[in-house]
Every structure is written in C-alpha cells, then in structure tokens.
Structure 1
C-alpha cells in the first residue's frame, strides 16, 4: 500500500508546445499494471518482483509490494497501467489515452477539444475536483486549466 495523497511524484516542466499559460510541471509514478492471472509455478518470479518493488517504492509491507510488482516485467501482457499523476498550475493541451481516473486532490477544468466518435462532446468543459471519477476516450484532445495542483489515480489501457 502507498499513500496516493503523499507519495512523492517527481515533476518536470510541461513542454512549451503543450503549454498555453503559466509554467506548469507534471509527473507520474507508475505503480504497476493489471494483468491476466499468472501461470502456476510463477511464485519465485512473483517473490523476486515483489522484492524489487519494495526496494523501488520504499514499501515495507510484502503484500503491498507484491501488488505493486504484480506485472512490472510483463508489459506485453498488461491489460492496463495504474499510477499517480500530478499537474501544477497552468494551462496545457494533451491527447489522452483511454483511461479512468479519480481526482484525489486539487481541481481543474478539462475542456474536451475533440472526442473521437462523439463530435457533440467537443467544447464540453468538465470541472473536476477531489472525489470526481472521469473516463476519457483514447485520442481525445483536451485543454487542462489548473488553478491549483491536481493529483489523480489513473487506470489507463
């Protein structure tokens, strides 16, 4: 287990081509992935992966380390990536991957500039804050306006 509200996320400046205002920084921490059930006899590999995750994330609880490590070395079999993402104040554009996220702190306005397969959704604005759950379609072009730092837990695939 990790605390998503306090886990350290290293931030880097958003590229100038994606920044519309301010000097926003963003970062993410990949916590692991959702994968098909492991094959029988994989206990040794799982134990090694758990030990590596414990070292990487500073997790002492072996059960939590095992969860984080459940698929770090099987990217080809991943169903979805799980992680923490953060963005500081400013306005940026992005092309989204298919994802569901839960805002855990901060707030933002997300303008849907272009939504594949749903032209009527273009121009909609989503005001999101802690506790909100959002699903974005892959390829959706967005404009994020962040007044205060926003942090979310995402599942993307």
Structure 2
C-alpha cells in the first residue's frame, strides 16, 4: 500500500458490511518523483486495525508509478495492471499480472513499477512500518 494520498478512516465496526468497490476514496496525484507515465492518481482508506494489522482499500487510476513497498498482502477487487518487481541488469526480477481475484504478497523494501490499464482497486492487509 502506498502512502501517497490523503487517507480516511472508515472505522468498520463489528457486524458492519460494505461494498469495497462502491466505497468513495480520497484522491491525490502521484508525486512527480514516483510518476512513470500518464497522470495517475491514488487513494486509500483504512477500514480497521486488527491485532496491529491495518486493513484498507487502495486504488490507482490508469498510468504508471514507481513505489517502494511495505509488508503487505492484498486481493484485487477491480481493474487490471502489471506490477514489475525490481530490476537486475535492466530486466524485471518478477512480473505479476493483476486482475480481480488476484492475491499477492509484497515485502518491505521491494521496488515496484505499477502500470495500470483499468483503475485498480485492492483490499490490503499491512503492518505499519
């Protein structure tokens, strides 16, 4: 989860249900030093914290951005993207295609390039850095 945008806190309560793909998210432009093409925006809200693990929703619009990751597991709920993890000798170490239903784990310090072709929304679980 990228800490790029202003975040909100939904404060999801026990027994409360919500549809994450309908949840409005505060939006912000990706900072120039992380923008890699297009004019992407990102947004996120925290839903809850359980046993020190933050659960939230994150979204990125079409475009490309660079990021350094935190420890995180996420499930894509909407959209399509390709994530390139690191580079060695000018070649990606690993590439992952993201679509609804994809589950992925990221580790703290991973350098990634996100190229989103259809607004990508994910539910994430992450420990604060």
TM-score bucket (shorter structure): 0.7 to 0.9
Find the counterpart in structure 1 of residue 11 from structure 2.
none
Q: Which has the higher helix share?
A: 1
Alignment of 1:9-48 (within 5 A): 9-35=25-51
Structure 1 residue 148, shift from structure 2 partner: 1.2
Find the counterpart in structure 2 of residue 154 from structure 1.
124
Alignment of 1:6-155 (within 5 A): 6-35=22-51, 78=52, 80-113=53-86, 123-155=93-125
Write the distance in 1 (CA, Å) between the matches of 2:101 and 2:81. Answer: 12
**Segments of 4+ moved more than 4 angstroms:** none
Give the paired residue count: 108
Any idea what SS the aligned residue of 2:33 has? helix
Q: Which has the higher strand share?
A: 2
Any idea what SS the aligned residue of 1:20 has? strand
- Structure 2: which 5+ runs fail to align? 1-16
TM-score by length of 1: 0.66
Q: Calculate the aligned-residue CA RMSD, in Å.
A: 1.4
Write the distance in 1 (CA, Å) between the matches of 2:80 and 2:118. Answer: 6
Write the distance in 2 (CA, Å) between the matches of 1:33 and 1:103. Answer: 19
- Structure 1: which 5+ runs fail to align? 36-77, 115-121
